[in-house]
Each structure stands twice: as structure tokens, then as C-alpha cells.
Amino acid sequence: MSSESPKCDRIIGYLGPQGTHSEEIALGLYKGEWGKFTPYNTIHGAIRAVEAGEVTESVVPIENSLEGSVNVTLDTLAHEVSLCITKEIIWSVRHNLLIKKDTQQIKTIISHSQALAQCRNYIKSFYPAAELKAVESTAEAAYLVASGMANCAAIGSERAGKLYGLDSKATDIQDNDKNCTRFVVLSKEPIVSKGERYKTSIVCQIKGENPGSLCELLQEFALRSVNLTRIESRPAKTGLGEYIFFLDIEGTIQDEKVRAAVTSVQSKSRWFKNLGSFSIYAIQNL
């Protein structure tokens, strides 16, 4: 594994524009370090920027505790790029209803599709007739409202409201106070980082011709007392009914048991990709 790139070379990409949760995480994660931040309009663009060498690393969401995985992140990592996960960040999501000053009526609510879903009960209770409009990010929603869209509100972070000069008509409107999102930092090369908690992430397509193939694969972890923290299937894009599996494993590939289990899984797979071992961080909202 390589060591971290010199800080003077660091350019961090994130899902923009300014005011997204991805930007807040980037600011918190690299606080006090030299470098610059580059926003991208889409998650796909932020990931591809690492592959193209436009940025050193990118911060993107990968899973929400309420709405599940961010499929564009999973599919891009599996099928389009050769990148490593170098950090995982657990972020407590707090949503606010943001409006321009003196807004009297709210006929349209704008936000990222997952943010709209995470505030479903609030919207149903207070704005049941409102039109819902999904955009690429919560910060884009705040920008659109600030730009003068009439009778509109955005769902976004407190920081987004401050950046775009909006008032918070309501705070903490998420339906569940346990609402958290997992973000990952992506790089071309694995990075040795220090932490108390580690995960290893792999993705594979199993040889599924025989009954019990998936069970046989999972037993490689159970037999070695290696804990799986997540397993999820996605279409393999090779034919109807064919799937790949994302597996998150507790521990690092440097651990002998983890390495042995991963090696055995690779031998039983038709296709295999190791997304790396990485530290897990928790960052407080700015």
C-alpha cells in the first residue's frame, strides 16, 4: 500500500455545489490541511474525476440508514472505474426547510430525491399539496430557491441556508432522528490511514451454477469468525437475473483471517474486485 499523497498535491472533489453534506464532510475531514476543493454537479462526475486524475480524492455518499444504498455510487465503482475506498464517514443527517425571506406560500418543495424521501412524513403533514421536485443535490435546491423561484422551499442543511441567504422555516424535519448517511472517500491508490475501526469492501459475481453457491461463499467468513457488516446485490449488467454482490467485512485485509476469507471468495467468484481496507470516522455537523 502507498502512503498518503503530499498535502500540497491534494485536490478534493465532492458532490456540489457549496452547501451539500459532501462539502461539509470534506471541510471537516481535511480541516487544517493544505489543498483545495472542487465541486461536481453529480455523484457520477465526482467519482469519474478521480479516475481521470482531475482530483486526488472525492467524497461521495454511498448509503443512507433510511433509504438504503446510493445506487449510482455502487454501480460506478463496480462497472466503470478502478478506485479504492480509503475512508468511511458516518454523518448524522439534519434537514431544514429553507425559504426566501417573506415567502408566504409554499407550492413546490425542492431537494435531492433521498432528502425528499427522508422527510416524507413532515411533507405529508404540513404540505400535502406541494409539488415535489428532485434535483442533483440539497445545495442545488437551496441555490434554486435563492435564485428567485416563486412559492418554493428547499430541503437542505443549515450551512446551505446560510450560504444562499435563506431562512430556516423549520429545523430537524427528517422523519427519523437516527437518520445517518455513510460517505466514502475514493482514491486511485489505497492509503494507509490510522484508526480504531476498519472495514474491507469487496464486490464479486459468484459462480452460481450450483445450488447453495452463495451460502458456500458466505461460509468462508463464518468458518473463520470474520464478521460481515453488509451484503447487497446489484444487477451484473450481463443478463437478466445475473447479480453482483457487495460485501463489507469487519477488519483489514492485513488481518490473516480476513485475507484468507477474501482470497477464498475470490477463488469462488466469476468476477471479483477488492475496493480496499479503510478507517471509519464520525464527523460532527459543522
Query: What is the pLDDT, as a whole number, of residue 271?
Result: 93
Judge if 17 and 157 occupy the same domain. no
| Cα distance between residue 61 and residue 48, in whole Å | 14
What digits encode the pLDDT tens for the residues 13-30?
998 888 888 888 888 888
Would residue 21 count as lying in a domain?
A: yes
Give the structural domain span for 211: 198-282
Asked if 258 and 278 count as a contact pair (C-beta separation under 8 A), the reply is: no
CATH classification of the domain holding 246: 3.30.70.260
Asked if 251 and 60 count as a contact pair (C-beta separation under 8 A), the reply is: no
Would residue 1 count as lying in a domain?
A: no
Would residue 2 count as lying in a domain?
A: no
156, 187, 218 - which closes a domain: 187
Would residue 144 count as lying in a domain?
A: yes
Query: What is the pLDDT, as a whole number, of residue 245?
Result: 95
| Cα distance between residue 90 and residue 179, in whole Å | 10
Would residue 28 count as lying in a domain?
A: yes
In sequence order, the 6+-apart residues with CB closer than 8 A to the CB of 263 are none
Number of domains making up the chain? 3
CATH classification of the domain holding 48: 3.40.190.10
Would residue 131 count as lying in a domain?
A: yes
Judge if 183 and 149 occupy the same domain. no
Judge if 203 and 245 occupy the same domain. yes
Query: What is the pLDDT, as a whole number, of residue 208?
Result: 66
Position of cell 464532510?
25
Judge if 109 and 155 occupy the same domain. yes
pTM of the model: 0.80
Name residue 235's beta-bridge partners.
243
Query: What is the pLDDT, as a whole number, of residue 17?
Result: 83
What digits encode the pLDDT tens for the residues 111-121?
999 899 999 99
Judge if 144 and 240 occupy the same domain. no
Query: What does the block give as the cell for 21?
Result: 453534506
Query: What is the pLDDT, as a whole number, of residue 3?
Result: 44
Judge if 77 and 106 occupy the same domain. no
Judge if 26 and 163 occupy the same domain. no
Judge if 75 and 206 occupy the same domain. no
Query: What is the pLDDT, as a whole number, of residue 274?
Result: 96
pLDDT in tens, the chain (286 residues): 444 444 457 899 998 888 888 888 888 888 877 789 999 989 999 999 999 999 999 999 999 887 889 999 999 999 999 999 999 999 888 899 999 988 989 999 999 998 999 999 999 999 999 999 999 889 999 999 999 888 999 999 888 999 999 999 999 999 888 888 899 999 999 876 666 789 999 999 987 677 888 899 999 999 999 999 999 999 888 888 788 999 999 999 999 999 999 999 999 999 999 999 999 987 655 5
Judge if 156 and 208 occupy the same domain. no
Query: What does the block give as the cell for 268?
Result: 469462488
162, 187, 212 - which closes a domain: 187
Judge if 112 and 211 occupy the same domain. no
Judge if 81 and 183 occupy the same domain. yes
141, 156, 187 - which closes a domain: 187
Would residue 154 count as lying in a domain?
A: yes
Listing DSSP states for 186-201 in one string gives EESS-B----S-EEEE
Judge if 86 and 110 occupy the same domain. no
Query: What does the block give as the cell for 226?
Result: 470474520
Cα of 130 vs its chain's centroid, Å: 28
Q: Is 14 helix (H, G, I), strand (E, B) or coil?
A: strand
Would residue 193 count as lying in a domain?
A: no
Position of cell 469492501?
201
